[in-house]
Amino acid sequence: MTTVFDLHIHTQKYSDCSFIHPEELIAQALEAGLQGIALTEHGMRWPDEEFARLENLARPQGLVLINGQEISARNDKNEMEGDFLVFGINYSLTGRYTACELAGLVHNHGGIIIAAHPYKLSRRGKTHYYGAGDKIYQLPLDAIELYHPDHSSLAVSKAQKAMQKLGIPGVGGSDAHKIFDVGSCVTLFDKRLENEADFIEQIRRGKARAEKRH
């Protein structure tokens, strides 16, 4: 069976820029035909007790929840080095990290790190990105966000080239901040995933593929 996850979602609970209410998210994820979603708030991870309450609403309906976080890395000059989706860390990464430091910390804790929208163009021009850009070639990443609403065809081509060279899978995430964006870009797995541990294992094994739906 194929299991469909949206691995990049923000809620109004912990991301000020989002309009998505967590309880409404569950209903929308099911409506979109998803079997799993990842909460990836900016700069923090959901507290375990609150996440467990949300899980208790989702699990009886067949929806798997993953507690992740989206972290912005900065170099020693405080310049952006890209955004990264982090999973398998049981606390919020609130410090300042370079991209290399962040990857090392995540792996030391048994987690995985995914380059979020690496080639999403910034307002500064064609060679500046909100993501890590070509820096992904220098990092020990576990996956690359291939399909993202703000990835152009050129961005997708660049990400595919990096995936091939680095030997890592591509994933899809909606980066949803509005409810009807949920499920626009997704990640497919060829087995049923029951929890975060299953998800991390499949990413490490490269058993994931991305799809853009709308």
Q: What are 6-62's pLDDT values in tens digits?
A: 999 999 999 999 999 999 999 999 999 999 999 999 999 999 999 999 999 999 999
Q: Which residues share a beta bridge with 72?
A: 83
Among 24, 34, 17, 2, smallest CA distance to 213 is for 34
Residue range 151-181, pLDDT digits in tens = 999 999 999 999 999 999 999 999 999 999 9
pLDDT for 128? 75
How does DSSP classify residue 151?
-
pTM: 0.96
- CATH domain 3-212 topology: TIM Barrel (3.20.20)
Q: What are the structural domain ranges in the chain? A: 3-212
